[in-house]
């Protein structure tokens, strides 16, 4: 089984989320293949997105800020959602608007009820 361990803390090192994931990893089956990711920025590169999409299980550890997930993690989740959507439905129609010339997502979730899922529903 391929398992992605995703640290969603904005701290670069020594976060409580990192400690929790290390502890959880020791409890999981030894024959599992682990891939570890740090989501401390709102934009993921395509290579990491593909690696995450290839996993069977996603395990997240992140701090709660006023009972909500960090905004950079929400942006990352929207990007993962897009990759999964592309894989299940081929490709999104007219998805050129999703990318800027730097390859970064330009219109991903800036509002509480925004995000790629909402944009998908209104098409």
What's the pLDDT tens digit per position in 45-61? 888 888 998 899 999 99
| Percentage of the chain modeled with pLDDT above 90 | 24
Confidence of residue 120 (pLDDT cuts 50, 70, 90): low
Lowest mean pLDDT among 19-33, 49-63, 74-88, 108-122: 108-122
Q: Does this model's pTM top 0.75?
A: no
**Count of structural domains, the chain:** 1
SS3 label, residue 96: helix
Res 118: pLDDT? 47
DSSP run (H or E) holding 57? strand 57-61
| Domain hosting residue 105, numbered range | 2-121
Partners of 33 in the beta sheet?
2
Q: Helix 46-53 to helix 71-89 angle, to the nearest 10 degrees?
A: 70
- Cβ partners under 8 Å of residue 34, min gap 6: 3, 4, 5, 25, 28
Q: Answer positive or negative: Cα dihedral of 2, 6, 12, 17.
A: negative
| Percentage of the chain modeled with pLDDT above 70 | 72
């Amino acid at each position: 089984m391929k398992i992605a361990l995703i640290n969603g803390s904005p701290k670069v090192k020594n976060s409580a989320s990192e400690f929790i994931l290390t502890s959880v990893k020791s409890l999981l089956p030894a024959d599992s293949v682990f891939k570890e990711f740090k989501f401390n920025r709102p934009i993921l590169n395509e290579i990491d997105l593909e690696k995450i999409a290839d996993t069977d299980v996603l395990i997240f550890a992140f701090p709660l800020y006023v009972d909500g997930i960090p905004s950079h993690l929400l942006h990352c989740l929207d990007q993962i959602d897009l990759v999964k959507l592309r894989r299940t439905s081929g490709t999104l129609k007219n998805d050129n608007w999703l990318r800027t010339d730097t390859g970064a997502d330009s219109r991903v979730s800036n509002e509480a009820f925004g995000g790629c899922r909402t944009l998908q529903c209104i098409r």
